């Protein structure tokens, strides 16, 4: 597999084409938080909304535009994190960041299991300019959770 094919694995292309969670959902619930993140190098942006139910991330929805790496990454994090608790979200984010900085080498089995399909982003780590693309949605998630925890009303 070439470096390019390693970066654009089929599962990434699939998520980019048919993204999960696209379209902001308004559940009208308290503990809703939202974050708008922009990649200043290319103008890609995402607006991501989470709803917390205690320590559980009850809902993730988003709208945005960007490259296949950013869109697929947001789609996969929606699948991975929705319904999980905050601690798991945090650990998964840490694992994903570690994957991004692994220079294409992959992680240990435990963390790769945690990331599931998102392990496919391993190839992005070889291209420093693209790491921001893959992290855009995760930065939005982290910030949206903080906003939700502030108890921002729905």
Query: Among 144, 143, 112, which residue's Cα sits nearest to residue 32?
Result: 144
Least separation in angstroms between residue 23's CB and other proteins is 19
Which residues in 60-80 are b (16+ Cβ under 10 Å) and which e?
A: bbbebebbbbbbbbbbbbbbb
Beta bridge partners of 59: 51
Query: And the tokens for 68?
Result: 């296949």
Helix (H, G, I), strand (E, B) or coil at 51: strand
| Closer Cβ to other proteins, 70 or 92, answer by number | 70
Q: What is the DSSP letter of 107?
A: -
Q: Residue 154 interacts with other proteins (CB under 8 A)? A: no
Q: Residue 139 interacts with other proteins (CB under 8 A)? A: no
What x-and-dash track marks residues 73-112 binding other proteins by CB under 8 A? ----------------------------------------
What x-and-dash track marks residues 32-71 binding other proteins by CB under 8 A? ---------xxxx--------------------xxxxx--
Q: Residue 4 interacts with other proteins (CB under 8 A)? A: yes
Could you give phi then psi for residue 73, rounded to 5 degrees? -65, -40
Residues making contact with other proteins (CB under 8 A):
2-4, 7-8, 13, 17, 41-44, 65-69, 127, 130, 133
């Amino acid at each position: 597999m070439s470096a390019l094919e390693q970066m654009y694995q089929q599962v990434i292309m699939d998520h980019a084409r048919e993204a999960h969670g696209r379209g902001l959902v308004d559940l009208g619930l308290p503990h809703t938080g939202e974050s708008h993140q922009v990649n200043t190098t290319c103008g890609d942006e995402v607006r991501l909304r989470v709803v917390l139910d205690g320590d559980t991330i009850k809902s993730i929805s988003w709208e945005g535009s960007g490259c296949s790496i950013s869109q697929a990454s947001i789609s996969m994090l929606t699948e991975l994190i929705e319904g999980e608790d905050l601690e798991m979200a945090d650990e998964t984010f840490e694992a994903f960041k570690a994957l991004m900085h692994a220079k294409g080498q992959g992680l240990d089995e435990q963390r790769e299991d945690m990331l599931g399909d998102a392990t496919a982003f391993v190839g992005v780590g070889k291209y420093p300019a693209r790491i921001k693309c893959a992290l855009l949605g995760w930065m939005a998630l982290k910030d949206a959770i903080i906003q939700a925890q502030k108890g921002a009303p729905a």
